[in-house]
Amino acid sequence: MTTHSELAEEGAIQIVIIKTTGDKILSQPLADIGGKGLFTKEIDEALINGEIDIAVHSMKDVPTYLPDGTILPCNLQREDVRDAFISLSAASLAELPAGSTVGTASLRRKSQILHRYPSLNVLDNFRGNVQTRLRKLNEGVVQATLLALAGLRRLNMTENVSSILSIDEMLPAVAQGAIGIACRSNDDKMANYIASLNHDETRLAVACERAFLETLDGSCRTPIAGYACQDKDGYCIFRGLVASPDGTRVLETSRKGPYALEDMILMGKDAGKELLFAGRSRIF
């Protein structure tokens, strides 16, 4: 609206809230009902059918392929990528007594927790919105949970955070903390509008991470983590991880190179190929 004055006029923008299958079916693990596309499918269909003009997604939920007829040229400036630890009885994972149960819907989190703290139990179908998960925590269903700090900050619910996990302790999900905006590939008007919102440093980092995920053919059944960022000298630092769901086998790699789109996509693909080859017999 600041950049395009015509959008500041009353009624120029209408926000349409679309509930996706992933939001509605909370009783089963994502992998059992079709994977991550469940959080984007209905929104993509509305975009393709012309019911909406732009689609706003959490990039963590966007499959590595886009539906025909759509493009995703815009990423907003990234939020904090780290995971938050929430517990009523402990300040960190390390403080949880042996046998404590941690709730999460993420195999990525489960595998990294069990790799470092094998004495803990992980309830891995701990789904629902933030409020639902906090209620289950208060009811004693679990002793702790992990949530993306980005989501808690956007909901103004950081008062619930016991501590924040470092990148070394919990490598984030690919594109965690990033918002993407899509439009139809033949809609130059909308592409021009959303271009004014694009944060290129974020867009390049997300492209690097998604190239890594795509090379691994990542699904909700394989714990995968990846994070690209710019160091103080302007280079891209990428870290990637794949693991077995029980955390007994974890493979990690890293890359450093120019902070430029083609170089970063190649870095992500190369890191993915390395872990794909290394994990053939042990993970995949």
Instruction: Looking at mean pLDDT, say which of 8-22, 34-48, 50-64 comes out highest.
Output: 50-64
Predicted local distance difference test score (pLDDT) of residue 57: 95
User: Are 150 and 181 found together in one domain?
Assistant: no
Predicted local distance difference test score (pLDDT) of residue 219: 56
Predicted local distance difference test score (pLDDT) of residue 247: 95
User: Are 266 and 197 found together in one domain?
Assistant: yes
Predicted local distance difference test score (pLDDT) of residue 222: 86
End-to-end CA distance of the chain: 47
Stretch (H or E) spanning 71? strand 70-75
Given a contact cutoff of 8 angstroms between Cβ atoms, the answer to whether 103 and 142 are in contact is: yes
CATH code, domain carrying 133: 3.40.190.10
Give the whole-number percent of the chain exceeding pLDDT 90: 84
User: Are 159 and 180 found together in one domain?
Assistant: no
| Residue 169 located in a structural domain | no
* DSSP helix/strand/coil, 236: strand
Predicted local distance difference test score (pLDDT) of residue 21: 73
Residue at which a domain ends, from 135, 164, 193: 164
User: Are 140 and 203 found together in one domain?
Assistant: no
| Residue 148 located in a structural domain | yes
What are the start-end ranges of the H helices in 107-260?
107-116, 130-138, 149-154, 188-195, 200-215
User: Are 142 and 267 found together in one domain?
Assistant: no
Residue at which a domain ends, from 164, 191, 224: 164
CATH code, domain carrying 42: 3.30.160.40
Predicted local distance difference test score (pLDDT) of residue 125: 83
Q: What is the pLDDT of residues 258-278, one digit of tens each?
A: 999 999 999 999 999 999 999
| Residue 150 located in a structural domain | yes
Predicted local distance difference test score (pLDDT) of residue 220: 56
User: Are 249 and 180 found together in one domain?
Assistant: yes
User: Are 113 and 92 found together in one domain?
Assistant: yes
Name the average pLDDT for the chain.
92
User: Are 54 and 114 found together in one domain?
Assistant: no
Query: Alpha-carbon distance 236 to 256, whole Å?
Result: 6
Residue at which a domain ends, from 134, 164, 194: 164
User: Are 130 and 155 found together in one domain?
Assistant: yes
User: Are 130 and 201 found together in one domain?
Assistant: no
| Residue 27 located in a structural domain | yes
Domain span including residue 242: 5-79+174-281
Give the whole-number percent of the chain exceeding pLDDT 70: 93
User: Are 205 and 274 found together in one domain?
Assistant: yes
Predicted local distance difference test score (pLDDT) of residue 281: 73
| Residue 260 located in a structural domain | yes
Comparing CA positions, the residue from 7, 40, 11, 8 lying closest to residue 23 is 40
| Residue 64 located in a structural domain | yes
Looking at 26-35, 84-93, 109-118, 209-218, which range is the least confident one? 26-35
| Residue 202 located in a structural domain | yes
| Residue 276 located in a structural domain | yes
Q: What is the pLDDT of residues 116-148, one digit of tens each?
A: 999 999 998 887 888 999 999 999 999 999 999
User: Are 47 and 110 found together in one domain?
Assistant: no
**Annotated catalytic residue 83:** no
Looking at 23-37, 66-80, 120-134, which range is the least confident one? 23-37
Predicted local distance difference test score (pLDDT) of residue 35: 59
Name every residue whose Cβ is closer than 8 Å to that of residue 193 and which is 6 or more positions away in sequence. Answer: 4, 7, 54
Catalytic choice (44, 61, 83, 187): 61
Given a contact cutoff of 8 angstroms between Cβ atoms, the answer to whether 160 and 152 are in contact is: yes
Q: What is the pLDDT of residues 78-92, one digit of tens each?
A: 999 999 999 999 999
pTM (two decimals): 0.92
How many domains does one find in the chain?
Answer: 2
